[in-house]
Structure 1
Amino acid sequence: MKLLVASSYSETADALQDQLTLSNIKGDLTFVETVDDLINELKKDIHDFIITEYSIDGADIWRLANLINSTQLAAHTLPLFLIKDTCETEIPLLLAKEHAFKVVSLAELGQVLPPTYEHNLSTGYVRGRKPPEKRTLLIIEDDEDAAFFAYNALNDCYVIDIASDGESGLELWKKKRHELVLLDYMLPGIKGDGVLVNMMAIDKNQPVIIMTAYDRPERNQNMMLNGASEYLCKPFNLTDLRSQCQAILNRAKLIYQAHYTDTKNQTLRNQLWLLNHALTNNEFDKAKRVVKTIKLIFPDTPTEDEQADLLSLEF
């Protein structure tokens, strides 16, 4: 197995090498520190996977993913993994899937990458841009007929898991973090409202559609206020179910984008306060570390013309 590793810091490279050894993963590692070197190595078609930090050479993961999966590089595209440990803010999994990369911690690499890997067509591996993966869906429903109806209505568009009670459904969601959940209210054990509360405590933006046999406005209103995205009253038709699922996922993408932006802005505000505090107290080494963190969050560098304009400003 040949891994193409985009990393600007020796600490990350050392930690990655140690983790691969610990996981008994054997392979050759090629390290690059710039986008140009990454693309040049990618075009050689000798690597099997790309592993990257959140940002390299002034480009963050979003720009890198768009570039690697662009039409220009479509014939050379490889599976892309982002090392979670290098991110200053949490990456929404729905957005990562939208940009065709996976987020993994260093400790998880041993579970994601196969211990041995043969780069040839007999393994089924094909280089190049892959078609979009199906969305993941979890149906938590104790009525077999209702679960069967929902499964057959959505199976062509989603990768679906089914759980028949609240506790097993919640555990399955924690393990796989499905992009959408269809949740029945009347469940054995933990009822739907309890499952919803537990999910929202972990991810307040998780898309959840409540399925209920009784249209009780007060109860349904409470579940919406507690984080549910929508509710459907049984029996519902196939068209309504499909359209609601698609609409909720489209809305969730916008919500995750806004949440991610807000989180980055909050992190930046905190770092600017630390920078001001360090400069006020003549703690210049600390100030340099803060600036380094800010550059990780916002890696883009102004163009030469923009830099000249900035330097000409009078403060």
Structure 2
Amino acid sequence: MFQRDRIILFLTFVYIFSLTSDLFAGDAKQAVVVLPPVFPSGASAEIQKESDAVCDLLSEELSKGGTIQVVNRTELKRLLDERKIATGKQKKIISYSAMIRLEVTTSQEKPIAVLRVIDLSSGSVLDSVTIKGKVLLADIGKMKQLCLAAIKKAGVIESGKVRIRALGVKDTEKEVRMKPFAHKLNIAFNLALGQSKKVMLMQHLEASSSMEESLLLLMGLSQLPGNRQFVPQADATIELRVKEGDGIGKTFQETPIIISVRLVDAKQQNNKWIETTGKVKEFDALIKQAWDKLSKSLDIIEPGSATVVLKEMQLRRKQAEAEY
């Protein structure tokens, strides 16, 4: 009986190892984490269900062919749950190259889905696609091809580009009516930055990450190329604000609305808020005006300025240590 139990235990171990061997295979395959979808609070159950289905179908399609290792949201949750209850020193069990995130906004008549592929070696958005309306099966195929092409670029750092980290829209908690506009502004600016030839858009993993992204980093589940633990410093950050003006005696469409944009470079030389003011009904045009103003400011940011600042800080620290 004892021998039989040992055989069963051995076969069980072999089976489990065969299921997880790809996760321990180091750099044999590029691994991609498909994170749960993001949608605004109050999104309908139908939108949430469809978003979940899109992520599941995309994970399934990407897994075909065996060229990359896909860790879907279900597997990710299991790994994170096990990590929470585990004791003792834990090894890194995933070495992944990129994350895929689907973000859905419902502020328009039809939902808008934005799929992003994020390079974990640089924190940059490798590629993105926007789909207006319901995501169809044909769209899944397009998403798959975009992801496969983008993942091939993971780990490749383009020189001569300004590294920009978008921190999202601030201070919308008290202005409930502005939340859909804030969401739309954030998506529009991220898309514009991602398409700019002079900018490398970096994802801010610490400040605007989801629970899954944070846990992957903080719990040591991720291993960036070159055994790095953190993404490089950005040359500048962009902050956004949307505020409602005095609407007394006006319809909502006629209510004043203010878009504020602040570009802060690594040297802290540029940190003034740039405002664009108009009416709620003009919001789309105001976004374009705000972007045009920001584009002019981007020209004064020097690529690699963050590296210079970090080197200066290291030099000052060494001098202080020597003097002490």
The structure with more helix, counted as a fraction of residues: 1
